[in-house]
Amino acid sequence: MTDAFAFPQDFLWGVATAAHQVEGNNVNSDCWFLERLPGTIFAEPSGDAVDHYHRYRKDIALIASLGFTSYRFSLEWARIEPEEGHFSVAELDHYRRMLETCHEHGLTPVVTFHHFTSPLWLLAAGGWEDPRTPARFARYCDRAMKHLGDLIGVACTLNEPNLPWLLKELGLGGEAPERRASVPLWAAAADRLGIEASSVAPFQFTVSEAGFDIKLAAHREGRAAIKAVRPELPVGWTLANTDIQAADGGQDRADRIRREVNERFLAASREDDFVGIQTYGRTVFGPDGVAPAPEGAETNQMGEEIYPEALEATIREAARIAGIPVMVTENGLATEDDSKRLAYLRTAVAGVASCLADGIDVRGYIAWTAFDNFEWIFGYGPKFGLIAVDRATQERTPKESAKFLGSLARAKVAQSV
Ligand code: BGC
């Protein structure tokens, strides 16, 4: 049975991007460097991406014209501080213009201060296992806030600090420091940077207890720097929260992974103003690892089961453990078939409505992603966008799913299940 559900008037309806995935030519970042090394695990380099750096005005106008009320994007630390201690006012001005454009179009800017990429100098200086990194991050947050803070609507410090622990369980990286020299990419990076392979610690691929402590400290020091400029600004971090389930015989493994990947990060969020939840599906663990998708299940472009019901489960998990407001800062589907995305969004939003109907404080639903873009190690293959981009001409074409979600944003009503 379905009922029409009225969303709160101030509920944010948005789409998200991350600087490196859309801007293009992020040449001072660690990712740009890693994309080009011998032994790279990136399918292709990011290059011009979708040239959002130059096209942001029209892009933001297009997002607003579809009916959305919010735009989540990230500041690129590697542009703002291309050399340690040198802050570029010209780049800060660029982001100020982006924020002003959001306000001109009535969009609340949800701003991520760190979305996976770091300046290359940070990687060379020990990256996300170096004890000096929290203070470096906080200094950057302070500079960015003093230049941009008055225009920011919601601040997210770090994006998916827990992702490497999830990737490790999926068999994607996460080597212990002493084993990094055996991985061609980390060996090549160490060689080029003139450091030990054990010290190569990029944000998305580093799994170690030191890495956990440093990310948590960076989040807290970054939050304090942001609050020092604007105490009332909502600040949180955004987590990769897959719905972790157990297949036969997999309960212990699933419970351990849920604690390590989801619960300890949610528990660490308790002092924040909100926690950002980023959910794409479920991950089912059997006794020996990830269980295959059920027979006959529809799959996304990466071969994973399409399971939009996961969002409701992870919102409930987050609210229960963190005990603070929740904001959906990413949710979406990689598919060439937009009708599948539309059906996915419909179910996911119904899950949000059910949570709200039960009194859970959900502040917004921000879909991943505005444009087909650079999907990290997978390159430009996966299509998560609500707006298609022809990268030869950079022409943008909204898909039906964009119009559907934009119309919900206008109506502020959706079905609950
Ligand atoms: C990240 C995005 C990414 C998306 C889809 C999240 O892990 O924050 O940058 O593109 O998932 O894989």
CATH label of the domain that carries residue 11: 3.20.20.80
- Residue 143 falls inside a structural domain: yes
Mutation choice for ligand 1 from 376, 378, 384, 386, CB with most ligand atoms inside 8 A? 376
| Residue 381 contacts residue 44 (beta carbons within 8 Å) | no
Residue identifier of the C-alpha nearest atom 10 of ligand 1: 375
Residue identifier of the C-alpha nearest atom 12 of ligand 1: 375
Helix (H, G, I), strand (E, B) or coil at 174: coil
Please pick, among 23, 81, 129, 160, the residue that the annotation labels catalytic.
Answer: 160
Per-residue pLDDT, 1: 39
Instruction: Please list, in sequence order, all residues whose beta carbon lies within 8 angstroms of the beta carbon of residue 209, skipping any fewer than 6 positions away.
Output: none
* Helical axes 310-322 vs 338-357, angle rounded to 10°: 40
- Residue 417 falls inside a structural domain: no
Give the Å distance between the CA of 241 and the centre of ligand 1: 11
Per-residue pLDDT, 397: 99
Per-residue pLDDT, 2: 58
- Residue 357 falls inside a structural domain: yes
Contacts 24+ apart (CB under 8 A), 385-393: 386/15, 386/332, 386/341, 387/62, 389/50, 391/48, 391/50
- Residue 164 falls inside a structural domain: yes
Give the Å distance between the CA of 1 and the centre of ligand 1: 33
Match 């409505």 to its residue by tokens.
353
Give the Å distance between the CA of 242 and the centre of ligand 1: 12
- Residue 326 falls inside a structural domain: yes
pTM passes above 0.95: yes
Helix (H, G, I), strand (E, B) or coil at 265: helix
**Domain, as residue range, for 321:** 4-410
CA–CA dist 184, 197 (Å, integer): 10
- Residue 415 falls inside a structural domain: no
Mutation choice for ligand 1 from 330, 331, 371, 374, CB with most ligand atoms inside 8 A? 330
Look at the chain and report how many structural domains it folds into: 1
CA–CA dist 27, 24 (Å, integer): 9
Per-residue pLDDT, 35: 98
Give the Å distance between the CA of 4 and the centre of ligand 1: 30
Look at residues 299, 386, 374, 378 and name the one whose alpha carbon lies nearest to residue 115: 374
pLDDT tens, per residue, the chain with 417 residues: 357 899 999 999 999 999 999 999 999 999 999 999 999 999 999 999 999 999 999 999 999 999 999 999 999 999 999 999 999 999 999 999 999 999 999 999 999 999 999 999 999 999 999 999 999 999 999 999 999 999 999 999 999 999 999 999 998 889 999 999 999 999 999 999 999 999 999 999 999 999 999 999 999 999 999 999 999 999 999 999 999 999 999 999 999 999 999 999 999 999 999 999 999 999 999 999 999 999 999 999 999 999 999 999 999 999 999 999 999 999 999 999 999 999 999 999 999 999 999 999 999 999 999 999 999 999 999 999 999 999 999 999 999 999 999 999 999 888 764
Per-residue pLDDT, 413: 83
Residue list, ligand 1 pocket, CB within 6 Å = 18, 21, 159-160, 163, 240, 278, 330, 368, 375, 384
Per-residue pLDDT, 66: 98
CA angle, 333 then 335 then 338, to 5° = 90
Match 């919900």 to its residue by tokens.
408
pLDDT tens per residue, range 357-399? 999 999 999 999 999 999 999 999 999 999 999 999 999 999 9
- Residue 66 falls inside a structural domain: yes
- Residue 354 falls inside a structural domain: yes
Catalytic annotation on 23? Answer: no
Look at residues 71, 75, 54 and name the one whose alpha carbon lies nearest to residue 63: 71
Question: Which tokens is 62 given?
Answer: 């297009």
